[in-house]
Amino acid sequence: MTLNSSTKPQTRTTAYSMVILVFLFFIFGLVSWVNTILIPYFKITCELSRVQSYLVTFAFYIAYLVMAIPSSVLLNRVGYKKGMMLGLWCMALGAFLFVPAAYWRMYQIFLAGLFLLGIGLAILQSAANPYVTIIGPRESAAKRFSIVGTGNKLAGIIANLIFAAVVIRESDKVLMKQIEEGLYSGQALDTALDTLVRGVIVPYLILSIILFVSGTIVRYSVLPELDAKELNKGAEDGLEPKKSILQYPALILGVIAMFFHIGTQMISLATIIDYAGTMGLGLEGPAQNFPSFTMTFTFFGYLLGIILIPKYLNQRVALFICATLNLVLSLLLIFVSGNVKILGMNTDVSIWFLVLMGLPNALLYAGIWPLAINGLGRLTNLGSSLLVMALCGSAVFPLVFGYLVEFNMSSSTTAFHAMKSAYLILVPCFAYIIWYAGRGYKINVWHKRN
């Protein structure tokens, strides 16, 4: 009876905690995935080159590299709940910077706001991921990541639709098309661009308020406070404890796998509107919906993870299968062409292989994370921070992709073929993740001792 009475409150607290975590991951998605439409939006309104427009993702995700380890120190000092509050408040300040940035149409202030949003998210990711990992059995961690991932990707599905509906009004669509056709110049062009970019002021002001209030709510919620010392204690799977985090090959190799996964995922999302543009579909038209199509498949991928893991499918096997599917889809994207009409849009079939990558992408993150931190014991917190740092792949890969496209364009090829060839960057990344799921995660020492 005593057991039951103590178990019920604990179960209830766990359920409430999962609800809060789903909400937090929804916030992650709402803020993160709108970047996919901010890229072409800023490209027009701030008159940027393709590479300059990809600085949107660079400014946002490079914060993970800068802030991941400091955020671990912060969480150890102030606690996880207070740390998450500070992270949300930092994001609120970043969103608020969009107001003066839009008023003066200063791209540099936009980038500063995006960097602050990224810093806040780095703190939140450093706190939230350990919660998801330790709130239940390790073998079902991928299932819990799938559950919170549905919140993340649901936000991704609606973020672009909301942004397009609220910021890009019907009159703005006409104006964007006229600007792209070169009908404005001089002062008239500046006035038109000012009109367009100021559409972000009210939405981001509201987002700033929501983030600030959310931080206060999380701070005083029922989410249990994590003790950093307790979190990082524990046996290291029977292995001799190691002094340095670099002595754990499975973690370091997992960080590389995470870097490749996050980078390739961002390429598939951040470039798809541009790729649609090479087929004659503009931002003012149906091209704006492609990121949401991809996110919808990712959402269904998470649902499959919830159903299949761990009851029917081991999370490592799921990682191997999903990475293999992505490798196949990337090869089809590069080497298969042909006109198709889907959902009323005439496109090259290759763009739909890019959309379909959303499905297997869903379980890569959930598969890599628990394999990488397994057996770290007292170094779990630092290992988690390194994995969060790997999220800067979203900053690096779109820029590399942009340079590859411009290099291909210099050889007088079309924009379509330049982008299609640049997607070759996906192939070695997925091949590496396949290797990690099959072999890399089992490596315990860098070399065998004689």
Rounded Cα distance between 338 and 195, Å, is 39
Q: Determine the structural domain holding residue 48 and report its residue range.
A: 12-442
Angle between helices 290-308 and 249-270 (to 10 degrees): 140
Is residue 191 a part of any domain in this protein?
yes
Question: In this prediction, what percent of the chain has a pLDDT beyond 90?
Answer: 33
Would residue 334 count as lying in a domain? yes
CATH of the domain at 270: 1.20.1250.20
- Identify the CA nearest to 133 among candidates 232, 27, 34: 232
Degrees (nearest 5) of the Cα angle 404, 60, 80? Answer: 140
- Segment 158-168 mean pLDDT: 75
**How many angstroms separate the CA atoms of 244 and 417, rounded?**
46
Closest to 103 (Cα-Cα) out of 166, 193, 23, 217: 193
- Residue partners of 412: CB distance under 8 A and separation at least 6: none
Give the whole-angstrom CA distance, residue 253 versus residue 371. Answer: 10
What one-character DSSP code corresponds to residue 416? H
Query: Would you call 413 helix, strand, or coil by DSSP?
Result: coil
- Say if CB 18 and CB 128 are below 8 A apart: no
Which tens digit of pLDDT belongs to each residue from 266-304?
Answer: 999 889 988 998 998 876 667 778 888 988 898 888 888
Q: How far apart are the first and last CA of the chain?
A: 56
Question: So what's the pLDDT on residue 450?
Answer: 47
Higher pLDDT, 413 or 191: 191
CA 302 to CA 136: how far, in whole Å?
18
Residue 4 is assigned to a structural domain of this protein: no
**pLDDT given for residue 89 in this prediction:** 96
Find tokens 């990711």 and name the residue: 125
C-alpha 273/C-alpha 254 separation (Å) is: 30
Is residue 164 domain-resident? yes
Computed from CA positions of residues 88, 90, 96, 102, in that sequence, does the dihedral angle turn out positive or negative? Answer: negative
What tokens does 97 get?
């910077």
pLDDT band at 257 (very low <50, low <70, confident <90, very high): very high
Could you tell me which of 98, 87, 92 has the C-alpha nearest to residue 122?
87
The mean of the pLDDT values for the chain is 84
Any domain includes 7: no
Please say whether the beta carbons of 357 and 298 come within 8 A. no
Q: Which token pair is 229? A: 């010392």
Residues 343-365 have a mean pLDDT of 92
Which tokens hold the place of 364? 């890569």
The answer to the question of residue 403 being in a domain is: yes
Is 260 in contact with 429 (CB distance < 8 Å)?
yes
Residue 207 lies in a domain: yes
Number of domains in the chain: 1
On whether residue 1 sits in a domain, the answer given is: no
State residue 13's pLDDT score: 63
Q: What is the mean pLDDT of residues 330-354?
A: 94
Residue 243, burial from CB neighbour count under 10 angstroms (0-12, 13-18, 19+):
exposed
Confidence category of residue 113, pLDDT binned at 50, 70, 90: very high
Per residue in 17-53, pLDDT (tens digit) is: 788 888 888 888 888 777 767 877 888 888 888 788 8
Q: Report residue 15's pLDDT band, with 50, 70 and 90 as the boundaries.
A: confident
